[in-house]
Structure 1
Amino acid sequence: MDTISLPSIQNTSPADWQYISEGGSSIVFSYSGPVNPQFDGTALRLRKVSNDSPVSPDQSQSAAEGQLEEPDDPTIVFQREIIQRLVPLTYLPRLEAVKVEREWLTQLAKLCEEKRPLERRAKDRIDLNRKKAVLATDLVGGKGWAVEIKPKWGFLPSPTHLSPATVATKTTTCRFCMHSHLKSTDGENVSLGYCPLDLFSGDTDRVKKALNTLWDVWIGSSGSVNNLRIFVEGQMLRPSVLPQSLRPLATQIIPSDARHPDLITIRDRFVDSVLPLLLDTPVLRILSMHQRNLDTLDIEGLSTLWKNAHSPLGPSEGIKIPSLGSGLTQPAIQELSSFVDIYLQKHAAMDHEHPDTANLQYYCLAYLLSASFKDCSIIMRIPPVSFDGKRREGTITVIDLDVKGVDRLSKWEKLDREIVASYVGVGDPAVCVDGQKGSTRL
């Protein structure tokens, strides 16, 4: 879309935008200014850059003199051209491009800096050189409350392409539980005890167990572990072991006559509020299905296919096989779209037990797309609770389905080896039950 015809953020004041949260690559704000049909109910997603990146001079003048048009954020194009073909639109946020300018971004950056976590401030900042940002559905602002969950990997791999050294471990303990173990041994705060396969199971008791564990980790880490986040009327809660820290949430889910609820009571009401929505929606099943189908070889099988393609006669002295993904270019959106055509029409009929090296590119793109589904989040929007006994419907939306870089394939291969090596031989390994095993229908 031509920048001239885009809505402009200049029509609002930077003070109209309330800091919500941020991830590794972007930072999100919620519109809270005067009534404005163009921005009411929206959130602004801005890209970040490393603090080590040089601050470029203002390019507005040269842009006005005929510089190339800045493309829309990849997230917008990726959702429109790829994700909407795989996930029903009703479960996706509205995403559109909006014009931004350096002076406005500079003011916003100053206003929000104190609200950002210290560890984020030390690493990165808003990219002031951008001419476009993403305007999205505001899923956490306004009345009511919202829950963000990062589910992670919802399946166990097939043993077909696993090595004798890893097959027993990988088919018993899920990737997330093994990774949590590795992180915890390095002293990192993680969601120990939470197993994504419980959340994805569709079984009431197991989903409830997953929610209870996510809650306990959220409380115990004061909200620093990001697999669970809770927002009340646009404000992200910073929990502690003191029930007072959860008062905003308690007013949403507990009758006013039940004063001073304890942590267990608040947790139980939270789980009771979220559980029906998770059990009724097909969203988790859709995510798990695509994760599993797109990662049908596991990174080990993909690595073997890569080596076979580069050394068809087997290992030979003097032949150095390039690292996984080396030499591949980042796929253009047209290439990804063509991939999805094949995925939807032919994937189920392909012989994945004996993959053809001629399909190496296909399997590499499949793994990249699988990673997008493994790293996304869901946001459940819960309306203000009525204590008249009537159930009010919430909504569930999938967010952060971002494009992954092809240069990460070799890093994922190395990380997989580290994760499994750290877990092999663990005295009491977690036994993760894949309740959706075999559910591969497209």
Structure 2
Amino acid sequence: MTPTFITETKPEDWTYVSEGGATIVFSYRGLHNVQFSDHVLRLRKVAYGSSDNTLLDANSEQPDDPMIAFQENIISKLVPSEFLPSLMVVVLEEDWLRSLVVLRDGDRPAERRQTDQIDVRRNKGILATDLIGGTPIAMEIKPKWGFLPTECHLSPKTVALKTATCRFCMHTSFRMKHGEVGTTYCPLDLFSCDETRVRKALGALWAGWYESDGSLNNLRFFVQGRMTKPDDDHSVQLLAHFFTADESTDVQNLQESFTSALAQALLSSPVLPILSTLQRTLDILDVEGLSKLYTQTSSGFSCDGLGSSVPDPSMEEWEDFVEVYQSDHHSWDHTVPSPGHLRHYLMAYLLSATFKDCSIIIRPKSAQVGSFDVTIIDMDIKSMDRLGKWEKLDKKIVEHYKSSGNQRRCIDNQRISQSGCTQLSKWR
């Protein structure tokens, strides 16, 4: 296949869309181009002062971004392709990237600009389907964890809390203690498949977006291809034009109209049930059970922390993992995990983290009023060296929540009964 070169476009053809911890996204706005129109450019970032800059030689051949192979070979076996964006390699050029930084770095949030930058040493990036541009509005929701853990691998100190309050709600409490903006959103409401609870979750997401002036990342609005905030009157008017019959920009009316429209879109889509099922069946031990198994079987491994010194899986190992997950994994006795399956469980937890951290893009179908497409994005490969950090964070979150006196009760519908939601097997 003939490679696609970013130098076939100009840096000024690209506008900033959004970014996460590892990547930054730009949307093509130049003259019509078969290869670039209706696509976004996803670039890797690097922290200031990071040694990663010295590991890459911009003049040498670098491997394709692993996200492409990961989606093609792994994710697509678990999620139907109709719910995934298309991805392809684009060849980058350092001077071009530096020009893009000069042009667009000022469009990034100030807090992001202070910590990281585009990795201009990369000579390959990703072109993906533009799910933001080419449509009047688009919404991004980051659902987060959609389940409560089972009791069998939790300690006596954590079992009562972890089986009553979801990880996201505990983490929200922890973040508020450290001065971050709070939210009443609970993922278990969004994943419940119950219309009343889904509407409650969407209402909380809207309130969090509005009250934080768009700083919370669990809900983002894009109007005419650009991320918008509640104080952008022009964009809010366009939202009102789309969601409300009378085009009223009254906050309460707009929130209710948004909640009603999105609830129907999510309830009619299998995306959330797919994500919930994958999350809970891949994270079957909780990080506590995973840590116990690792400690019991860690001879030959470093005991500096969960997953320390464990090499990251190759793509071939990931392919083998998926085969086992789709065949034998569901018949294993996970209440007594086998030490021989340690690496499988470590990989399963990493993959679960991918589905916990992804986003969904919801956008209207052009031909059907009131009908929406739902697409899953941001499915990065997670690294083994993050397991120890997650274990420590889990302890901090639970310890804080226990001492905070909060008693929020989160209801996991699928844990109580497997009926009522579309089952994953239907979509394989």
TM-score by length of 1: 0.90
Q: Greater CA radius of gyration, 1 or 2?
A: 1
Change (3 A) 1:395 1:142: same
Instruction: Return the letter of the residue paired with 1:375.
Output: D
The alpha-carbon deviation at position 254 of structure 1 amounts to 3.0
Query: What is the match of residue 249 of structure 1?
Result: 239
User: Secondary structure of the equivalent of 2:343?
Assistant: helix
Query: What is the match of residue 290 of structure 2?
Result: 302
The alpha-carbon deviation at position 243 of structure 1 amounts to 5.9
Q: CA RMSD in A?
A: 2.2
Deviations 1:363-414 (A, max 9, x none): 1111111100110000001247x9xxx7442111000111001001111111
Query: What is the match of residue 395 of structure 1?
Result: 373
Deviations 1:294-328 (A, max 9, x none): 1111111111111211379xxxxxx9944211221
| In structure 1, distance between residues paired with 2:299 and 2:128 | 47
The alpha-carbon deviation at position 71 of structure 1 amounts to 1.0
| In structure 1, distance between residues paired with 2:279 and 2:175 | 23
1:25 to 2:22 alignment: yes
| In structure 2, distance between residues paired with 1:350 and 1:121 | 47
Deviations 1:171-202 (A, max 9, x none): 00000000100110111124x21100000001
| In structure 2, distance between residues paired with 1:435 and 1:247 | 37
Query: What is the match of residue 346 of structure 2?
Result: 364
- Asked if the contact 2:291–2:306 (Cα under 8 Å) also holds between the matched residues in 1, the reply is yes
Query: What is the match of residue 432 of structure 1?
Result: 410
| In structure 2, distance between residues paired with 1:288 and 1:429 | 24
- Asked if the contact 1:243–1:262 (Cα under 8 Å) also holds between the matched residues in 2, the reply is no
| In structure 2, distance between residues paired with 1:59 and 1:414 | 34
User: Secondary structure of the equivalent of 1:201?
Assistant: coil
User: Secondary structure of the equivalent of 2:190?
Assistant: helix
The alpha-carbon deviation at position 141 of structure 1 amounts to 0.4
Instruction: Return the letter of the residue paired with 1:208.
Output: R
What aligned pairs does 1:263-302 form with structure 2 within 5 A after superposition?
263-302=251-290
| In structure 2, distance between residues paired with 1:394 and 1:368 | 30
Instruction: Return the letter of the residue paired with 1:142.
Output: G
The alpha-carbon deviation at position 417 of structure 1 amounts to 0.7
- Asked if the contact 1:50–1:125 (Cα under 8 Å) also holds between the matched residues in 2, the reply is yes
Instruction: Return the letter of the residue paired with 2:139.
Output: V
Change (3 A) 1:212 1:78: same
| In structure 2, distance between residues paired with 1:169 and 1:58 | 45
Query: What is the match of residue 149 of structure 2?
Result: 157
- Asked if the contact 1:58–1:102 (Cα under 8 Å) also holds between the matched residues in 2, the reply is no
Instruction: Return the letter of the residue paired with 1:126.
Output: I
The alpha-carbon deviation at position 124 of structure 1 amounts to 1.0
Query: What is the match of residue 77 of structure 2?
Result: 85
| Residue correspondences, number | 419
Query: What is the match of residue 32 of structure 2?
Result: 35
- Asked if the contact 1:140–1:234 (Cα under 8 Å) also holds between the matched residues in 2, the reply is yes
- Asked if the contact 1:182–1:422 (Cα under 8 Å) also holds between the matched residues in 2, the reply is yes
Instruction: Return the letter of the residue paired with 2:144.
Output: K
Percentage of pairs with the same residue: 47
User: Secondary structure of the equivalent of 2:323?
Assistant: helix
TM-score by length of 2: 0.93
Structure 2 alignment gaps of length 5 or more? none
Instruction: Return the letter of the residue paired with 2:358.
Output: C
Query: What is the match of residue 388 of structure 2?
Result: 410
Query: What is the match of residue 175 of structure 2?
Result: 183
Query: What is the match of residue 12 of structure 2?
Result: 15
Change (3 A) 1:245 1:277: closer
Instruction: Return the letter of the residue paired with 1:143.
Output: T
| In structure 2, distance between residues paired with 1:90 and 1:383 | 14
- Asked if the contact 2:273–2:424 (Cα under 8 Å) also holds between the matched residues in 1, the reply is no
- Structure 1 stretches (4+) deviating beyond 2 angstroms? 53-60, 242-245, 251-255, 258-261, 319-322, 390-393, 425-428, 438-442
Query: What is the match of residue 421 of structure 1?
Result: 399
Deviations 1:213-265 (A, max 9, x none): 0000100111111000010120111213x86661231232234xx35531111
